[in-house]
Chain A
């Protein structure tokens, strides 16, 4: 199940829910879009084209609504030679000048978002769309044994660079360590 835990900045949990409408509600309040798209039957390891074709209507809607011009599919598996490096790349608090839009076709990942006085940890799973607005402080953990396929949408892929804040806040919150 997808899960949201909301913490104070001191790390005290104030809300924990697996209810999609409550997750969407709490995230909408801080300007983050969360949706669940109906799953499609896709063969394991389906090519980018097949994945995009399966979700063409939802992807088309997001592009029309927000002016995203580029779409791709990223796949991460535990045997990826650089999975350790890739995991560590986004573990510290950072921002992007672009929205970070991810739809989880399969697998999972932990987005942790920081608002004024709350931290929102969203464990995204298959079927979840999350859109973190440009400028929002956050970090992402794919876990020690990463496995996910995600559709990414961009206005300009070249602009998608992590600007690290230098704040060590991410070290004070739970990492993604599935049992």
Chain B
């Protein structure tokens, strides 16, 4: 069984919360993070906490069905994390950020089922991508309070060949994952950077065309 020990996961998740909050990707009580543990259970952030100010009580353990193994109420979106761990047995960590740019993109492109990034050097940050000369397709799906519905809607795009380990829920933000917390954080950061870069490019183009 792959995965890290709970005692290792707790400080790592606390540190990630501080970093993502510092970037503006975890305002108020938004965002939730998880890691696969070495005993087959999962460390997840508890519901309703500020992710920039997590303490050890803000991280709990759940089993593969989402039942709490330690005290606390798991994040309402734990089901989405567990769905990703089921879909991708090699995934060791899942991070959900709630940045204004990602949410803004998903709402502005309200009919779009994906956003395509092309030609960015940053594409090399994604696992298995060796050149900037590819395309990255970021799936975008509508929000729902029904986690099973979100899972069913996004599954085809996520399991397609060459799919990116990230997707965007409309009005809600990014989900990113990787083989461990470092890789998941890199995917989240690179995807956020791509969105911010395209927004900046769009603004410059508009300014320069006048």
Expressed in whole angstroms, the Cα–Cα distance for A19 and B111 within the complex equals 11
From B108, B111, B119, name the one whose CB has the most chain A CB atoms within 10 angstroms: B111
Cβ-neighbour of B115 out of A28, A35, A36 (below 8 A): A28
Whether A25 and B109, one on each chain, are in contact in the complex, defined by CB atoms closer than 8 angstroms, is yes
* A25 to B137 alpha-carbon distance, docked (Å): 9
Number of interface residues of B (CB under 8 A): 15
Within 8 Å CB of B112, what residues of A?
A: 21, 24-25, 27-28
Contact B202 A25 (CB under 8 A): no
Q: Is the CB of A25 within 8 A of B209?
A: no
The size of the chain A interface, using a CB distance under 8 A, is 18
Question: For the complex, is B151 an interface residue (Cβ under 8 Å from A)?
Answer: no
B111 x A26 contact (CB < 8 A): no
The yes or no answer to A69 lying at the interface (CB within 8 A) is: no
**A103 and B157 alpha carbons, distance in the complex (Å):** 29
Measured between C-beta atoms, what is the minimum distance from B184 to chain A in Å? Answer: 24
Contact A34 B209 (CB under 8 A): no
- List chain A residues, Cβ under 8 A from B140: 25
Distance in angstroms between the alpha carbons of A28 and B118 in the assembled complex: 13
Q: Is the beta-carbon distance between B116 and A19 smaller than 8 angstroms?
A: no
Enumerate chain A interface residues (CB-CB to B < 8 A): 19-22, 24-29, 31, 34-36, 117-118, 134-135
- 20 other A-B residue contacts (CB within 8 Å) besides A29-B118, A34-B111: A19-B113, A20-B111, A20-B113, A21-B112, A21-B113, A21-B114, A22-B114, A24-B109, A24-B112, A25-B109, A25-B137, A25-B140, A27-B112, A28-B108, A29-B116, A29-B117, A36-B111, A117-B119, A134-B209, A135-B209
Chain B residues in the interface with A (C-beta under 8 A): 108-109, 111-119, 137, 140, 202, 209
